[in-house]
Structure 1
């Protein structure tokens, strides 16, 4: 049998290697690892795929998402930039570029990436919703509401978008519309709505519907909700069946992030009940305590800041 030319032999070798698995197999392995919550393993698999094909956009995209999960935002942004250069009309890449820029603190850059994703594919609800979130963080409440409302128009079954708009309206002090959106979110997605049920009590009480607030929350608790101890205690506290100290104890006293997040929520809930009870001074003290917990901005922190600002304007 005659010897193959050197180039043909090399091509055959590459072909046999790819046939034995190649980048597609490594990409599939990375996808599985990422979906199973193993981002470090996913990065390794996607990197193997890119060694075989440096232009494999699914590998670049997947590795960026895994690196984002690991908090490696600079590396994730580099992967996404490379992927966008290869596929500039891929709306999903621009969307995830927006997510990662937002994580990295580049809010204006996030909005620009979402702008491009929407230009390429305006019919994706989550892109409008996520641009609305970036605009909220930039202080553009009107623009945020327009975006979130468009997300709902595109997908009226999105509990996430209704919940997001409810939080935005809550912080603006639009209690009635916020209540309606929280009610819709719970109806669309009954499971996993612990925080929404607590907000429903707050809004109904603030609107002077304390009996309905108590009745709905008590029925929810009696039905075996929620599964976790802290929201159970929080619900009992709002109903007057647990003390403020019991609420704070349930949040935990450790110095970890989870405990500090729960303590910020506990102080926010204590302030909310104080406001419903007509005690603005107690509410102010708890709102200030919520903001002192040293956690990065969360929805509770944003709401606590909004409530404190309203109390300040009344002085």
Structure 2
């Protein structure tokens, strides 16, 4: 009888199997590494494209790193500086962003995006005159860009040049009538001027054109405010409810539900303020400002102006200057508490009036029926002093944030070459609508 061939004990095979498995794993890992290395860019164009892809996905740090590699290989690429400047601005590194845009402009003075990008940073730094100059250069280089006109309009609005801002918004909309952001921004201008009907029309158009998201929600909420200020609070509430019912649940964030619930009367003011302080700690200031804006609107509609002013000041204390609620709040408190809008004088105007640097504000708009109008202030007046101190943007902002309703404000001014005085009483509030 034939015997089977002898077999090695199992303890002989076990190490062989183990090592074979480890070798196989190592080969797979090595293949992945080789594949990734093969896909890595090896030239400036490759790193640039990789950086752009990162930034488009919101990965700004990775994008900056790849663009820096691109520039190390080819420092003459103006487009890499422009894109890195954008990413640095989004990360809050304003100085580095300005440096990138400066270099891009040195390399390519005709690059409209470089001028517009630097202008956007200057707006964020509140250097509005520089921003307007850069946007004007961008418009000259690319006159068919709605973005450049819209950007300049925002800067002009903030500096007090409302006619210029409106002209730019109109041009942006004419170039790109299907871009909802043009209507949204022009609606903000009308809102700040108290032109509720025009604001409502633009917000409604913006909501129709904008994709689902924060801007569309904002348009819907401000549309409610504009309609309510026109006296149609019920219609405003019904329209907001219809918008919410048409919003897909997965796209409706919890904060929108809190705000809309408050505006519809389903939540109290305290409920809203509590939610603002507890829902998202990383956005505490932004939420607090937004909640205060809409809570103040409700108070104003109830003719409780003192409470509205207190809520607006709560928003301003948040310091969230890059948020729409902060901008609308500044306009609201200016209109209701003082009733006028003033812009900083440029140095040429100061020189013509023999004023010192940093002194002087030009009154660009006086709201009908408001405290300033009742005190006799008119557009074109040049303010020299505010309560005895030099009239400048900082002092005016401090007045808006701190002056108690009812306490008189004494303004020294020049009108058609004649010095005079006006006394505003912030307690004599402008009409709510």
Tell me which interval the TM-score lies in, with the shorter structure as reference length: 0.7 to 0.9
Q: State whether residues 202 and 276 of structure 1, in contact with CA within 8 Å, keep that contact through their aligned partners in structure 2.
A: no
What's the secondary structure of 2:294's corresponding residue?
helix
Instruction: Give the drift of 1:119.
Output: 0.8
Q: Compute the displacement of 1:285 (Å).
A: 2.5
Report the counterpart of residue 55 of structure 2 in structure 1.
Answer: 34
Q: Does 1:158 align with 2:179?
A: yes
In the TM superposition, residue 101 of structure 1 has moved relative to its aligned partner by 2.4
1:235 aligns with 2:264: no
Deviation at 1:129, TM superposition (A): 0.1
CA distance in structure 2 between the partners assigned to 1:42 and 1:250 by the alignment: 35
Q: State the 1:154 CA deviation.
A: 0.8
Matches within 5 A, 1:234-273: 234-253=259-278, 258-273=283-298
- 2:335 maps to what in 1? 310
Number of residue pairs the alignment of both structures matches: 296
Deviation at 1:78, TM superposition (A): 1.8
In structure 2, the gaps of 5 or more residues are 1-40, 338-370, 372-427
User: For 2:185, what is the secondary structure of its paired residue?
Assistant: helix
Higher strand share: 2
Alignment of 1:135-284 (within 5 A): 135-189=156-210, 191-192=212-213, 193-224=216-247, 227-253=252-278, 258-284=283-309
CA distance in 1 between partners of 2:114 and 2:307 (Å) = 47
Shift of 1:282: 2.7
User: Which whole-Å deviations, capped at 9, do the CAs of 1:183-210 have from their partners, x for residues lacking one?
Assistant: 1101112522112111111111111112
CA distance in 2, matches of 1:32, 1:234: 35
**Which region of structure 1 is more displaced relative to structure 2, 135-144 or 95-104?**
95-104
How far off is 1:254 after superposition?
8.5
Q: Residue 167 of structure 1 contacts residue 178 of structure 1 at CA under 8 Å; is this kept in 2?
A: yes
Q: TM-score by structure 2 length?
A: 0.65
Distance 1:279 1:159 in 2: 34
* Structure 1 pair 83–262 and aligned structure 2 pair: CA distance change class (3 A): same
Q: 1:140 to 1:235 in 2, by over 3 A?
A: same
1:224 offset after TM fit, Å?
4.6
3-state DSSP of counterpart to 1:242: coil
Q: Distance in 2 between matches of 1:79 and 1:310?
A: 39
Structure 2 equivalent of residue 17 of structure 1: none
Does residue 122 of structure 1 match 2:143?
A: yes
Change (3 A) 1:232 1:23: same
- Write the distance in 2 (CA, Å) between the matches of 1:60 and 1:309: 40
Shift of 1:161: 0.8
Deviation, structure 1 residue 292? 2.4
Specify the alignment match of 1:88 in structure 2.
109
1:60-94 deviations in whole A, cap 9, x for unaligned? Answer: 22222222222222222222222212211121221
Partners of 1:173 and 1:93 in 2: CA distance: 35
Cα gap change, 1:310/1:106 in structure 2, threshold over 3 Å: closer, same or farther? closer
2:321/2:327 contact within 8 Å kept: no
| 1:257–1:295 contact (8 Å) kept in structure 2 | no
Deviations along 1:275-306, one digit per CA (max 9) or x if unpaired, are: 22333233222222222233335321222222
Q: Deviations over 1:214-258 (max 9, x none)?
A: 211222233456611122121111111111111111112589561
Aligned counterparts of 1:155 and 1:76: Cα–Cα separation in 2? 28
What's the counterpart of residue 45 of structure 1? 66
Give the TM-score normalised by structure 1. Answer: 0.87
Give the 3 Å change call, closer, same or farther, for CA 258–156 of structure 1 in structure 2: same
Instruction: Structure 1: state its 5+ residue gaps.
Output: 1-19
SS at match of 2:50: helix
Does residue 93 of structure 2 align to residue 68 of structure 1? no
